Structure 1
């Protein structure tokens, strides 16, 4: 599939990129911040385009439900994750992104809020919405709250996030759509993803598990909301408008660099190494796996890492295959300290390869992230541990870049993890 080819191409590109970065003409801090915004514009533009393609694939599924149209919608979802995961590096340090992100990528979620679940489903303790099943009910009684959910619209779903105060009540975004396309992954730490039948979206007698009309409405509404949300964020990075980009680039360049480096370090350390890898590994918990329904977690992790690398090297491979390249952080560092730049570039190559080995495990050996974290898989555990260690070292390299540029006390977010 196209997104797998992108992964391989991106991994190879990452190995080559640092060599080209330090030989370019002198760059300024302002130019690096401006190119940071250019990359954000391109990444969110691609995320929007791929979400629109996903929306079309979902429309085709609902127009003519079949095994093939469901498979096509799943493929479109996987492709949509490629640019979006590379966008998460803009989240930390940029309030406009961080305040908005939860509606698109919150996880893990209690599936029982949305649809039917298998017997013995383990939901978050104390979550009053964990068995609400919006698809099966036109009215919900959650604690002391009575809700009319007769008409499933994007606005309704947005209002149901964190219902009854629980972060596990995720009604929207990529993972709600993922659950609807794949269903629960009931394989625990064994091979296999979710196996929702296409007949869950059929009308009339062919409908399985009931309420197919509402399931169709839910999937369509969630997809439309995803597109709307990405249209908003893509607009925030367009040049020459009264938006966040204008606000960011009007700040002193040092502040722009601080936000950039803080975002890189926080995604590398607290979020990717901590929340997305360490939590699942320590608990051997598939419930804490990121793309748990589709078994796409290896790509999700890799493209998070690629997003961090994009900013260090000042380049981004677009979904059309073209490459956006410009003034980079590594060039700025090299202008101050060649040795530090070489050390940083080498660590980034090593870290990217360490995370890419999770992709190779899944694609070559068919051993996915949920199998790697199993308690009885010491080799798999070590592969994930090595990736975590590489991300910790990468964060040190980011801090070295910051210090070299005179940006001290960066303090990237650890998400309360110790490494």
Structure 2
């Protein structure tokens, strides 16, 4: 069954908005940074709301597991990814986000830490937690240490992240939930995502693969932790909370705020999206390095990362309830300096967003997903991914140009040690 996503609605809207950032008279850097904070708050508020829906769907599914309810939960997970992926543009430059986000979106993960896996699954060499299987055990032995995991709670799961010092030991977040819903994708570079049966959550007779009670407890605790984490971050950007990160940001110079905005856009565009999320997987032809590898939702995650960059530049954000947030933008500041260059930079953003959307078209229209595009021997698929990487590199150049036009020199977006 093909999963419905929110993409069609969001794409239709965003394409209409492609050139709608209207030059406001005398837009100031301070106003632009304040609106940036407003966008961040709205994105995290939407991420929280969709995570709460996911949490509620998981509660209902666990109480009475069925195939129909599993499909509903999976859809809720897909829906929750839409706003969260648009939030990643706030990571780079805002340490409060970058220091926090690993608990929600760390990847790739050695899923054998959490639950059963195929005998031949690939994991990080030397990772002692790679086959720990928390679901099946009440105590783990990692090196000389013993860890009591008898009672699965949100706090325990948070504490188990990077168990034994390995970054591949990801116990929490969207991808842990994704694995618990879909299971491993055992199709390699052939069509198909994970196929975990709903009976993995049936209590008593009918339970498959054992330990259904602990698996359910793990899924629920991970969803609860996700909501708790997003509640905290939503408050960090709220105008109604005193002493939070929003106040810290707005108390800094507006120029410093603009630098954070542009550095975040450039670093997500270049080092993270073009580099870590595409180049690494393409060069290694590795499905293990695919972002949403269990659900085959990677195309959407990449697209909404790009949409997040676009949101910050244009000052536009389409909320999950359909309302449009708009206000003073980087585009406006650039246009006040050089209207012709602003249009040229906007054009590059439009081209790149269209190019990233081709990954979505490949998956949704042709059933050729990202893991198939990066396969060795798929020359056409490899070329599509490489063209997308190069378009993101070009977009980063436009971000640097925009920075210079508004007085931000030596932006130096993070390359994550990749060469393009």
Q: TM-score, normalised by structure 2?
A: 0.98
Contact 1:301 1:355 in 2 (8 A): yes
Aligned to 1:79: 79
d(CA) in 1 for partners of 2:185, 2:14: 28
d(CA) in 1 for partners of 2:314, 2:9: 17
Aligned to 1:202: 202
Shift of 1:195: 0.1
Shift of 1:322: 1.1
Cα distance per residue 1:17-42 (max 9 Å; x no partner)? 33x32443221100000000000000
Aligned to 2:29: 29
Contact 1:43 1:84 in 2 (8 A): yes
Aligned to 2:254: 253
Aligned to 1:132: 132
Contact 1:313 1:330 in 2 (8 A): yes
Cα distance per residue 1:159-189 (max 9 Å; x no partner)? 0000001000000000000000000000000
d(CA) in 1 for partners of 2:403, 2:202: 55
Aligned to 1:214: 214
Question: In the superposition, relative to structure 1, how do residues 276 and 10 fare at CA in structure 2: closer, same or farther (>3 Å)?
Answer: farther
Aligned to 1:318: 319
Aligned to 1:280: 281
d(CA) in 2 for partners of 1:255, 1:26: 19
Is 2:171 aligned against 1:164? no
d(CA) in 2 for partners of 1:17, 1:189: 34
Structure 1: give runs of 5+ residues left out of the alignment: none
d(CA) in 1 for partners of 2:173, 2:202: 23
Match of 2:9 among 6, 11, 20: 6
Q: Secondary structure at the match of 1:140?
A: strand
Matches within 5 A, 1:57-76: 57-76=57-76
d(CA) in 2 for partners of 1:140, 1:415: 34
Q: TM-score, normalised by structure 1?
A: 0.98
Contact 2:5 2:75 in 1 (8 A): no
d(CA) in 2 for partners of 1:126, 1:380: 33
Contact 1:189 1:374 in 2 (8 A): yes
Contact 2:362 2:368 in 1 (8 A): yes
Cα distance per residue 1:364-400 (max 9 Å; x no partner)? 0010000000112111111111110110000000000
Contact 2:153 2:218 in 1 (8 A): yes
d(CA) in 2 for partners of 1:346, 1:194: 38
Matches within 5 A, 1:358-377: 358-377=359-378
Q: Secondary structure at the match of 1:53?
A: helix
d(CA) in 2 for partners of 1:6, 1:132: 41
Cα distance per residue 1:194-244 (max 9 Å; x no partner)? 000000000011100000000000000000000000000000000142100
d(CA) in 2 for partners of 1:23, 1:161: 46
Contact 2:18 2:350 in 1 (8 A): no
Contact 2:5 2:78 in 1 (8 A): no
Contact 1:85 1:303 in 2 (8 A): yes
Contact 1:162 1:169 in 2 (8 A): yes
Aligned to 1:110: 110
d(CA) in 1 for partners of 2:198, 2:7: 24
Q: Secondary structure at the match of 1:124?
A: coil
Contact 1:202 1:212 in 2 (8 A): yes
d(CA) in 1 for partners of 2:388, 2:103: 28
Shift of 1:306: 0.1
Shift of 1:11: 4.4
Residue-pair matches, total: 416
Structure 2: give runs of 5+ residues left out of the alignment: none
Aligned to 2:300: 299
Aligned to 1:415: 416
Q: Secondary structure at the match of 2:415?
A: coil
d(CA) in 1 for partners of 2:22, 2:62: 51
d(CA) in 2 for partners of 1:265, 1:325: 21
Q: Secondary structure at the match of 1:316?
A: strand
Shift of 1:148: 0.4
Task: Provide the alpha-carbon RMSD of the alignment.
Answer: 0.9
Is 2:254 aligned against 1:233? no
